[in-house]
Amino acid sequence: MHSDNHRARKRFGQNFLHDQTIIQRIVDTINPQEHDHIIEIGPGKGALTSPLLKRLEKLNVIEIDKDLAAALRTNFADEKRLSIHETDALNLDFNSFEHTDLRIVGNLPYNISTPILFHLLRYRERIKDMTFMLQKELVDRICANSGNKQYGRLSIMVQYYCDVESLFIVKPEAFTPSPKVDSAIVKLTPHPHPRYELSDHESLKIIVRESFSQRRKTIRNALKKYLDETTIRNAGIAPEIRAENLEVSDFVTLANCYHHMKINTL
Ligand code: SAM
């Protein structure tokens, strides 16, 4: 490929997959169907792009690196089914894709994985599912349950909106250059309807952030500025519990209390 001269750019989190067994396994996991509306973030040199395209009628890819985008345009010059968007996925308006059953995939640049996830969650109503390679540590945090050390803001915010599944680990040797840590494949499936009724997204963000600002604190102390002890107790939550032992539904309950209190004091 023309892009073989390309030197991996750290600032774009470039670790290119070369292990064909792993590539095949990822594509099989995505299980593309001919008419699916798949968008790949960060196609790089096309490791996943080529096998995906074989199974699809149409594929959109988003690549920020102008040299890689140019190489893709050259390498796929005769391929009408591929649309290359040379842009930053973080600034892309996913409403600009006409379909509402988007499947988003990618071996995501590790340095912006979390912001990309949050950006995509804003478009959850148009997204059918997302399959990503991320650092294993991040996948563990996304999928962690209450009571677990990794359970925190990311677990709650993602699990509120999506079903999460950690699928398999990918070792550093599968990439060039090799990253320093293990990676893992995660599948996120946005819930068609929210699991719990949430009055206000911002309130959930605030309550979750404050609850975990000091993990060792009880919820009563961590939320002192936001909710009083009686309100927490009346919501059916023990004020002396720590954030890491609360379920996603408890955070939604607390966020709703906070939101109603704010409205009533306006
Ligand atoms: N998919 C390829 C593979 O598996 O070999 C490349 C994966 S590499 C980890 C991440 C890719 O995302 C790189 O091609 C990088 O240039 C691209 N990228 C980085 N930041 C991006 C952004 N903000 N928007 C779109 N693409 C980005």
Identity (one letter) of the amino acid at 117? L
Q: How far is CA 115 from CA 49, 121, 196, 200, 263, in A?
A: 23, 10, 24, 20, 29
Pocket residue to mutate for ligand 1, from 65, 76, 110, most atoms within 8 A of Cβ: 65
Distance between CA atoms of residues 221 and 226, nearest Å: 10
- The pTM score is 0.94
3-state helix, strand, coil in the chain (%, to 5): 45, 20, 35
| Per-residue pLDDT tens over the stretch 73-107 | 999 999 999 999 999 999 999 999 999 999 999 99
Question: By the 8 A CB rule, do 59 and 80 touch?
Answer: no
Give the closest residue to 215 by CA, choosing from 248, 252, 251, 243.
243
- Which residues touch 148 (CB under 8 Å, ≥6 apart)? 244
| Token pair belonging to 160 | 């509120």
Q: How far, in Å, from the CA of 170 to the mean position of ligand 1?
A: 17
CA 204/CA 202 separation, integer angstroms? 5
Domains of the chain listed by start with CATH number: 10-190 (3.40.50.150), 201-265 (1.10.8.100)
- pLDDT tens track, the chain, 266 positions: 444 778 888 889 899 999 999 999 999 999 999 999 999 999 999 999 999 999 999 999 999 999 999 999 999 999 999 999 999 999 999 999 999 999 999 999 999 999 999 999 999 999 999 999 999 999 999 999 999 999 999 999 999 999 999 999 999 999 999 999 999 999 999 998 888 999 999 999 999 999 999 888 999 999 999 999 999 999 999 999 999 999 999 999 999 999 999 898 87
* C-alpha 205 to ligand 1 mean position (Å): 28
Sign of the C-alpha dihedral computed for residues 255, 257, 263 and 265 taken in this order = negative
Atom of ligand 1 nearest to the CA of 15: 9
For a pocket test of ligand 1, which of 63, 76, 173 has the largest count of ligand atoms closer than 8 A to its C-beta?
A: 63
Ligand 1 site, CB within 6 A:
12-17, 41-45, 47-48, 62-65, 68, 88-90, 107, 109, 112
Phi (first) and psi of residue 204, to 5 degrees: -65, -45
